[in-house]
Amino acid sequence: MTRSADTTKLGLAGTDAQLLIELLKFATVVTRPMKATVAAHHDLSVNELRVLMCLSGEGALAGQEIAGLMSMAPMNVSRALARLEALGWIERVEDGHDRRRQPVQLSKAGWKAYNSILPDIRETARWLFAPLAGADRRKMLAMIAKLNARIEAWGEEEEDVSRGRR
């Protein structure tokens, strides 16, 4: 059973606090459709799927870069990369500027696999965002970008926030 936000409780927690609570809940449950309708159908974990999607859009990246872009724990990225490498879906490439950096990219088999998964990703996205009109989707994307930028700056402001100065 799912429940939507009870706006009558906003006065108790405050609008911003309630919004934060709803975002935290959403962040937890949004992976459910991806897990059930995409990852599980292709015998992948959600983390493996996230890494696959990241590499398809960004090209060759090192594990640390994937972790940063996808907001994933480095250990989860390492595990996902190990599995994708075992499947033959990624390959290591040399970095001509930094021999210590170990980027990976999708292999030919990885691109084939990704392209076979892509219709399920698109269908899940269509289902999830069906209640939102195009303008609402664009606004949501802009709002998420603003919040992501704010969160990325958080490390610089963390001390002030913890002291109640922001």
Q: In which residue are the tokens 């990703």 written?
A: 121
Residues 105 and 65 in one domain: yes
Residues 91 and 158 in one domain: no
Residue range(s) defining the domain that contains residue 147: 132-166
Residues 136 and 124 in one domain: no
Residues 61 and 116 in one domain: yes
Residues 46 and 103 in one domain: yes
Residues 56 and 137 in one domain: no
Residues 140 and 58 in one domain: no
pLDDT tens for the 166 residues of the chain, in order? 455 555 555 555 678 888 889 999 998 899 999 999 999 999 999 999 999 999 999 989 999 999 999 999 999 999 999 999 999 999 999 888 887 889 999 999 999 999 999 999 999 999 999 999 999 999 999 999 999 889 888 876 665 555 565 5
Residues 119 and 144 in one domain: no
Q: How many domains are there within the chain?
A: 2
Is 24 inside any structural domain? no
CATH for 113:
1.10.10.10
Residues 159 and 99 in one domain: no
Angstrom CA distances, 149 to 87, 146, 152, stand at 35, 5, 5
Predicted pLDDT at 153? 86
**Rg over CA atoms, the chain:** 19
Residues 144 and 87 in one domain: no
